[in-house]
Structure 1
Amino acid sequence: MLNTLGPGALMLLLFAAPLHAALPGDYEQALQAYQTRSAGRSDFSADEQAVMQRAKAALARSLPDPGIKVGERAPDFTLPNAFGEPVHLYDALKNGPVVLVFYRGAWCPYCNLHLRALRERLPQFKALGAQLIAVTPQTPDKSLEQFKAEPREFDVLSDLDSSVMQAYRLIYEVDPDLAEVYRKHGLDLIEYNGPGRNVLPAPGTFVIDRNGMVRAMQADTDYTKRMEPAEVVHALETIQSEVLRNPSQPSQGKGK
């Protein structure tokens, strides 16, 4: 479930570049570049790799189709951001569509690649009346540590009781053997998430219109698979075109 880098190389790749570092193109290109840089570097034993593969297969079986679907109403929530301020989803929706992204934590390179790619598209999101909100199981202090050097362009919210991950049908408990492999290689999920919380979300992205309807989504237990920012833009353009055709009514419907 974790990538195959050893602890030294892993930490270097995770934190050497800030979140705003320029990367080529959108997520798929950034992913390919990252995988090329990290190819062939592994400190995981054969037994540890077997644990990782078993956990990956078990998760795919237990959560075969994660995430709420297009046409469903997005569950409302209020969560604290990195500064401890409450953010209410349906208050945000009063201002326009929301791109809601669930990510695993500051330690996850694939999450950081995806957030970087989405951040590059923020001007387009804003031009289409939308805002980006990220949700993570990690504590606010970890989010603040991750984003303290960044301009505050979007909120990062902490799902401290896992209720939002559960409502969006993304949550899973990390296999104990896998958690032990993580710890041996320098990643203690409890340190990031808090006591008793060996939980993660299957990464997911949801484009939500002002009525709270999911118009586009992507979620997968394969943490390398993410929704391309271009797909997000397309969904937002569809919502905007509907609003322009029917200016007296908020956009709604099943969309993409």
Structure 2
Amino acid sequence: MKNSPLSPLHFELDNATKQMEKMLTPETVTMFEQSIIQLRASGLATGLKVGTKAPDFSLKDQNGTNVTLFDYTAHGPVILLFYRGVWCPFCNITLRAYQQASELFEASGARILAISPQSPDYSTTMQTNNSITFPVLSDTGNKVASRYNIVFELSESIRNVYQSLGISLDDYNGDSSWTLPLPTTFVIDRANIIRLAYIEADYKRRLEPSKVLDMLASL
């Protein structure tokens, strides 16, 4: 978007990547990168395509309120953000960036819904830590994410690394599946059609809010 006042998201993500790599052993960094390559090769990083009708859903937000997608799209486009959880620094950075852009989105008639598999208590933490004003929804068991074809299961080796870092997904998510959604951004229009789909196997890469604003301007 021309003359956008938004700070580029990728700068913060790049800085977070550098900080993460300083904290991890070279072997762990290599393992993470190999897992991304394998995930891409698996073909799982596909998701629903542009032009597809979005599946409706109802999920509880951080306040326990039921939020239904089609109730939101009845009033304008929805920016649907699937993220991994409060434990992921890249997700925190991304949601803060979209919060920064939220007034611009609203001026375009769009609203944000963020979804992760974590329990409502952790969604509340995510909201509080990042001063989020849009709904942060809990998708227990990745049921909604599965309908959008963006769920994958972590390998045993990656599970072990996560646990060594103090990241226990069975605690955060309230189940033992060790599945996550791919970091994904959908824009869904008032007819419930997916107009933009950004699906990324690399959790360190996210869609710039300015790109979403460009899409909204074309609707």
The question of whether the paired residues in 1 share the 8 Å contact of 2:96 and 2:132 is answered with: no
- What CA distance in whole angstroms lies between the structure 2 residues aligned with 1:219 and 1:227? 9
1:129 paired to 2:109: yes
Give the partner amino acid of 1:183: Q
Partner deviation per Cα, 1:105-124 (whole Å, 9 max, x = no partner): 00111111111111111111
- What CA distance in whole angstroms lies between the structure 2 residues aligned with 1:110 and 1:225? 8
Which stretch has the larger CA shift, 200-209 or 222-231?
Answer: 222-231
Long gaps (5+) in structure 2: 1-5
1:101 paired to 2:50: no
> Which residue of structure 2 lines up, in the alignment, with residue 68 of structure 1?
48
Percent identity, aligned pairs only? Answer: 35
1:42 paired to 2:9: no
Distance 1:236 1:222, change over 3 A: same
- What CA distance in whole angstroms lies between the structure 2 residues aligned with 1:32 and 1:152? 22
- Secondary structure of the equivalent of 2:140? coil
Greater relative contact order (Cα < 8 A, sep 6+): 2
> Which residue of structure 1 lines up, in the alignment, with residue 160 of structure 2?
180
Long gaps (5+) in structure 1: 1-23, 240-256
Partner deviation per Cα, 1:19-69 (whole Å, 9 max, x = no partner): xxxxx8121122233345x175134363x4454344333222223542211
- Secondary structure of the equivalent of 2:144? helix
Give the partner amino acid of 1:33: N
> Which residue of structure 1 lines up, in the alignment, with residue 10 of structure 2?
28
1:113 paired to 2:96: no
Q: Which has the larger radius of gyration?
A: 1
* Matched residues, number: 214
Length-normalised TM-score, structure 2: 0.90
The question of whether the paired residues in 2 share the 8 Å contact of 1:102 and 1:204 is answered with: yes
The Cα shift of 1:208 comes to 0.7
The question of whether the paired residues in 1 share the 8 Å contact of 2:95 and 2:130 is answered with: no
Which stretch has the larger CA shift, 104-113 or 140-149?
Answer: 140-149
> Which residue of structure 2 lines up, in the alignment, with residue 233 of structure 1?
213
- Secondary structure of the equivalent of 2:51? coil
- What CA distance in whole angstroms lies between the structure 2 residues aligned with 1:60 and 1:112? 23
- Secondary structure of the equivalent of 1:148? helix
1:212 paired to 2:192: yes
Q: Runs ≥4 in structure 1, deviation > 6 angstroms?
A: none
The question of whether the paired residues in 2 share the 8 Å contact of 1:202 and 1:223 is answered with: yes
> Which residue of structure 1 lines up, in the alignment, with residue 145 of structure 2?
165
- What CA distance in whole angstroms lies between the structure 1 residues aligned with 2:23 and 2:104? 38
Partner deviation per Cα, 1:79-127 (whole Å, 9 max, x = no partner): 1111221110001111111000000000111111111111111111111
- Secondary structure of the equivalent of 1:221? coil
- What CA distance in whole angstroms lies between the structure 2 residues aligned with 1:150 and 1:184? 26
